[in-house]
Amino acid sequence: MSGAGRLATVIETERVNAALGWGLVGLVTAVALASLSHADLAWTAFCVGVGGLAVVPPLRFRDPRVMLPWEVLLVAFLPVLGHVLATWWLTTDVSTYLSVAALALVASVELDLFTSVRMTDAVAGFFVVVTTMAVAGLWAIAQWLSDVYLGTTLVYVARPITPAVEAASLTALMWDLVAATGCGLLGCALFVLYFRRRANPRARFPLERPS
């Protein structure tokens, strides 16, 4: 592909990968429509966001076979799968942060592919880690503000907020941030080990950048 960087080599055109990828996109679309019908705007927005990132390559190349690896999309869609299957381990903070790391990886690939931004493997891995940590920090702030001004118990584990409750809540919050950092590092390792060593660098995408 003219003008594309090394990250572009992860884009695939295999039929099986495309079928699996579109199947996941269809699931996310169904969840988005169901959430919208129940006025669940938060889930609707999340599904639209992750689904939109997934369909950028096939839309830009006007070829439904051009798709990101289905394994990456599966990790990115973990919270959606947990929402559909009501599976506890898929709805934990760890699975959410793994999803964020995968979405950061998708964003780095698409920036490299469709813009003038070029990332080395190391920079892309660093981008995944920092993005995951940043999202975790912003989510922690949002939860704390909700507890303070709306009376929720997202950060503070119980009310009234006694010194013991505050200490327990702070400990839990710090472990959440540690988990987010670990998931970011895992996402970085996924990029380095999977895409650099296992992704086939041969041409699997159109030769020309879309106009």
Per-residue pLDDT of the chain (211 residues; tens, 9 = 90+): 444 555 556 666 788 889 999 999 999 999 889 888 888 777 788 888 889 989 998 998 888 988 888 888 888 888 887 777 765 555 567 777 888 888 888 888 788 777 777 777 778 788 888 988 898 888 888 888 888 888 888 788 778 888 888 898 889 889 888 988 988 888 788 777 766 665 544 444 444 455 4
C-alpha dihedral (7, 200, 102, 23), degrees to nearest 10: 120
pLDDT value, residue 91: 54
Whole-angstrom Cα distance, residue 182 to residue 103? 16
* 206 lies in some domain: no
> Which range of residues forms the domain containing residue 38?
6-197
In a domain, 209, yes or no: no
Q: Which of 33, 22, 19, 6 is nearest to 125 (CA)?
A: 6
Tell me the CA distances in angstroms from 211 to 114, 115, 156, one per residue in order.
Answer: 10, 12, 51
Residue 81 lies inside a defined structural domain of this protein: yes
Tokens for 158, please give them: 């119980």
With b for 16 or more beta-carbon neighbours within 10 A and e for fewer, the 141-166 pattern comes to: eebbeebeeeeeebbbeeeeeeeeee
Domain assignment of residue 144, yes or no: yes
pLDDT computed for residue 205 by the predictor: 44
Here the tokens at position 105 are 């990886």
Can you give the pLDDT at residue 190?
A: 74
In a domain, 167, yes or no: yes
Residue 195: its pLDDT value, please?
A: 64
Question: Based on the structure, what is the number of domains in the chain?
Answer: 1
> Which pLDDT score is estimated for 10?
62
210 inside domain: no
Q: Is residue 139 part of a domain?
A: yes
Q: Is residue 21 part of a domain?
A: yes
pLDDT at site 207: 43
